[in-house]
């Protein structure tokens, strides 16, 4: 079976869900091996979690350089692994950092790069990716024709599925060039963490628009009842009702959750661009002709200030 390398995205050893999604995808393409880079030793708990999701091996790059310097050392470590293990594909999460690592890796290995995949299939033994393009107006399918395919995949592309394996832990010794040390990280300031999931990773997102009239309480209450992240339209952000980090759309974040609830959002093309690859879309809007209903799997015509609290109460009651 060909080996598939998956770069583990973690924060101090706590593995992000998107890595488990990548391992699930990797199993369709071959035998998944995880690559864990950190200055600290690999926690047993992490090995267990990666094994539960099918990792047959965990390559460990334990080196301070990967934390002290920005992105480039990680790309060099991956490059050395690609050369020694000749994997069939490298999968990386579509975060800003992940995409930069992927781009550097592709250049260093003279390989093709595909970013922001929202689907990965196997066709004739090769990875074929699906991408949402031109504000979601087109679905593009692509495959790499040169080198070792480097693919970044958006969060929530698949549900992580467990398939227990007993990974072999393989320490890797990496040498870094001077160029890898050209951008030093001077501080890492943890942001105040919200109890809600990160918007781009959440499997459920509840967003509010101008129709909230500035009262986001029903949106937040429903989000909390569902364990969801809160999103917002640009109109809501521009009105100062939500921070820019909540904005979903062309000039905000792209989300692809299992469930997206749009409350008081008309469904402008620029908003759609950031959410239309969501698995299921529920719209609440008092205008029956609102364009969002063309996209919605379920539409509720009504006042969000009545509909959302009723749904929240019903969810809490169950
Ligand atoms: P509106 O279009 O005003 O819609 C409000 C909706 O709420 C209406 O459909 C109304 O019927 C409904 N409503 C009102 N009251 C209630 C109620 N009580 N209960 C239920 N429904 C109610 N927009 C984005 O969202 N994200 C982007 O990233 C983005 N980028 C842009 C980039 C560019 C270059 C441009 C030009 C625009 C961009 N926009 C973006 C703006 C976009 O075009 C729309 O203006 C914006 O999405 C509208 O936000 P909205 O749906 O909240 O407001």
ipTM, two decimals, is 0.99
User: Using CA positions, which residue lies closest to atom 44 of ligand 1?
Assistant: 268
Cβ–Cβ under 8 Å, residues 101 and 74: yes
Give how far Cα 13 sits from Cα of 18, 163, 187, 201, Å: 14, 21, 19, 18
Chain mean position to CA 20: 11
125 burial (CB, 10 Å; 0-12 / 13-18 / 19+) is exposed
* Ligand 1 centroid – CA 167 distance (Å): 48
From 234, 267, 300, give the residue whose CB has the most ligand 1 atoms within 8 Å, as the site to mutate.
234
Q: Is 136 in the pocket of ligand 1 (CB under 6 A)?
A: no
Residue 285 marked in a binding site: yes
Residue 265 marked in a binding site: yes
Predicted TM-score (pTM) of this structure: 0.80
Residue 258 marked in a binding site: no
pLDDT tens across the length of the chain (318 residues): 899 999 999 988 899 999 999 999 999 999 999 999 999 999 999 999 999 999 999 999 999 999 999 999 999 999 999 999 999 999 999 988 999 999 999 999 999 999 999 999 999 989 999 998 876 678 999 999 999 999 999 988 898 999 999 999 999 999 999 999 999 999 987 766 678 999 988 999 999 999 999 999 999 999 999 999 999 999 999 999 999 999 999 999 989 899 999 999 999 999 999 999 899 999 999 999 999 999 999 999 999 999 999 999 999 998
């Amino acid at each position: 079976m060909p080996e598939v390398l998956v770069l583990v995205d973690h924060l101090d050893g706590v593995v992000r869900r998107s890595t488990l999604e990548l391992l699930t995808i990797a199993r369709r393409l071959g035998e998944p091996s995880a690559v864990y880079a950190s200055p600290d030793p690999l926690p047993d708990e992490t090995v267990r979690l990666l094994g539960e999701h099918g990792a047959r091996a965990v390559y460990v790059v334990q080196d301070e350089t990967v934390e002290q310097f920005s992105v480039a050392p990680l790309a060099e470590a991956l490059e050395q692994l690609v050369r020694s293990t000749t994997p069939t594909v490298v999968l990386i999460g579509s975060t800003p950092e992940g995409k930069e690592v992927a781009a550097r890796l592709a250049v260093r290995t003279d390989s093709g790069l595909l970013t922001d995949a929202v689907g990965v299939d196997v066709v004739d033994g090769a990875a074929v990716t699906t991408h949402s393009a031109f504000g979601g107006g087109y679905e593009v399918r692509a495959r790499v024709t040169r080198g070792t395919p480097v693919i970044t995949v958006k969060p929530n592309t698949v549900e992580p599925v467990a398939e227990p394996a007993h990974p072999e832990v393989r320490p890797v010794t990496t040498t870094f060039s001077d160029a890898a040390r050209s951008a030093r990280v001077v501080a890492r300031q943890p942001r105040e963490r919200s109890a809600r999931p990160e918007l781009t990773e959440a499997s459920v997102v509840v967003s509010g628009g101008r129709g909230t009239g500035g009262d986001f309480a029903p949106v937040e209450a429903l989000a909390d009842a569902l364990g969801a992240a809160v999103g917002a339209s640009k109109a809501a952000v521009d009105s100062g009702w939500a921070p820019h980090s909540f904005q979903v759309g062309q000039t905000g974040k792209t989300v692809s959750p299992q469930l997206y609830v749009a409350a008081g959002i008309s469904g402008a093309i620029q908003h759609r661009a950031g959410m239309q690859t969501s698995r299921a879309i529920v719209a609440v809007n008092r205008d029956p002709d609102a364009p969002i209903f063309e996209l919605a799997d379920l539409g509720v015509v009504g006042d969000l200030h009545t509909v959302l609290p009723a749904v929240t109460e019903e969810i809490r009651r169950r």
